[in-house]
Chain A
């Protein structure tokens, strides 16, 4: 391991700093505190001599450190001289002095904490407003793109829609079925557990089927789709944006909204109701299973009661929400994808934002639908 030496000697009114060994990247970390203490304890001699005679190696890191001594004494108005530099060391030292000749730009002054806080709130309010405008304007673009298909300017891309449908819906069936099955089972278990105290076990059938059909089925599936598909859309479109593929589409006269966004949106709008329907069946099956094995309610009784209690409108209330959820998830995912900038970090941020916003909006929308159907008495 190379080592560096630093010794100082007061010689009348002159301070001689003898440097030796290797002043390189390896030793810079060890030497820095010693240089700092030399500067602090150097006092105010008439002049300073930096003696490089014993220096075997000097690189830019060690050189910058040595230059620190020179600058510190120079700032106190003490002249500093150099002696004993080898030719190579002199070249490096000259390079350093040249490179650092321009003073460092002053660091930006931080604002007071209160101002920073207000700044942040203001920025976020403006950002939220912009989000809303972006959503509306993007929706407008999508509608225009749909219009262009009917007027014959654009083209309907069936292959792309089918391909997306495969990714969005078909491949999602197992995981959606599994999760809704478990949720249905959990609801049934909780229902039986508490209804049993009142001897009202069979009400669990109403609980599971109505809750699932109206709310839980579509909500769980939408949230899963926002996490599974929304994030994928954002990442796909975002990385295409990063690599200028979107610009390439534009210059070829293709509308990115028509080529990339529409097939994805359509696949979602078709796929989400299908997934919701599958999810409903799966959740009710889960509930029936738990009722059978945990609540001793035979399956045939479960379904007979379900037929008595559940009318078709409950199914429609749930399913009608699915395409709207799909639209929200798809729009948010595609907008966030289009907002990705050059860096990998930005891709991560937008993907996170896409999922969080989509889930938030899905829940808000579900609440609005609940109010709507309640006031209709449906």
Chain B
């Protein structure tokens, strides 16, 4: 339901460099994210997948380059404009990052309270809906994060990320730490939500099953750049040695059989 029709470029990253101290983790990286797609970002440990994600959402400063989201250059925005953009994306952190002193329901209502003026009953209704949408049981609403299992935390965190009906969701390793059944359910959930809500999904993942099952496109990071983008088939045909190793390994073959 976004203003962007499927296929428009919704996030564009151009010649971006990010570094810590002397070392540049990311150097001259270009990446496009199309509206309505599920983009999987892969790369070895330490290649800067998370850093790139955190840079796009504004948690890590960049050394140079340009990032535009919804056709707006993030560097030139005022605080208010930046806030307005932040409303249009949701982030699922790797470990959920639920506020531990709030219940699941209160966690989901944090962005609602912060940005909208809604009555209590309506907010309860919305929280109840989000909880149902991510496949949690209704009684999870009044539980604290410490009382939830890993999979439930991820779902609750996704519900919070979806609270304001964002157009883009960033998922940082959404299936890590879940059992294969839980991971598969989570993949299906993301796909369903993408289809019904018209979301654009930017997903950092190591899970080959997820990549094969739900990603429309894959972007592979190495040497501080995106070395390849394309479908799973493109990745498999790519001559780069790291990709060959990554997608040609034992685990990848097993994932392909399943897919």
* Chain A interfacial positions (CB closer than 8 Å to B): 24-25, 28-29, 32, 36, 57-61, 64-65, 68, 88-89, 91-92, 95-96, 98-100, 102, 104-105, 341-345
Contact = CB atoms under 8 A, between A and B. Distances in A.
A62 to B, nearest CB: 8
27 contacts: A24-B165, A25-B115, A25-B165, A28-B118, A28-B122, A29-B116, A29-B117, A32-B119, A32-B122, A36-B119, A60-B126, A61-B126, A64-B122, A64-B126, A64-B129, A89-B1, A92-B1, A92-B197, A95-B133, A98-B132, A99-B130, A100-B132, A104-B125, A105-B138, A105-B139, A343-B144, A343-B146
A104 B146 contact: no
B100 A342 contact: yes
For the complex of A and B, list the 3 residue pairs with the smallest distance between their C-beta atoms, beginning with the closest: A342-B146, A343-B100, A99-B132
A25 B84 CA distance: 12
B146 A28 contact: no
A36 B162 CA distance: 25
Contacts of A99: 128-130, 132-133
Contacts of A102: 132, 138
Interface of B: 1, 87, 100-101, 115-119, 122, 124-126, 128-130, 132-133, 138-139, 144-146, 162, 164-165, 195-198
A88 B132 CA distance: 19
Nearest to B126: A64
A167 B133 CA distance: 51
A342 to B, nearest CB: 3
Nearest to A71: B125
Nearest to A86: B1
Contacts of A36: 119
A203 B20 CA distance: 65
Nearest to A30: B117
A58 B165 CA distance: 10
A28 B112 CA distance: 10
Given A60-B126, A342-B145, 19 more contacts: A25-B87, A28-B116, A28-B122, A29-B118, A32-B119, A61-B165, A65-B122, A91-B195, A96-B129, A99-B128, A99-B130, A99-B132, A100-B125, A100-B132, A104-B124, A341-B146, A342-B100, A342-B144, A343-B100
Interface of B is mostly: helix
B122 A68 contact: yes
Given A25-B165, A61-B165, A32 B118 contact: yes
A105 B140 CA distance: 11
Given A65-B122, A98-B132, A25 B1 contact: no
B125 A88 contact: no
A295 B144 CA distance: 62
Nearest to B134: A99
Contacts of A89: 1
Contact of B101 (A58, A92, A104, A345): A345
A341 B101 CA distance: 11
Nearest to A55: B1
Given A92-B197, A345-B100, A104 B118 contact: no
B100 A60 contact: no
A212 B100 CA distance: 45
Contact of B165 (A29, A59, A98): A59
Contacts of B146: 341-343
Contacts of A29: 116-118
Contacts of A91: 195-196
Nearest to A67: B125
Given A342-B145, A342-B146, A60 B133 contact: yes
B167 to A, nearest CB: 10
A104 B162 CA distance: 20
A68 B1 CA distance: 21
Contacts of A28: 116, 118, 122
A34 to B, nearest CB: 12
A362 B115 CA distance: 48
A60 B165 contact: yes
Contact of B1 (A59, A64, A104): A59
Contacts of A88: 1, 198
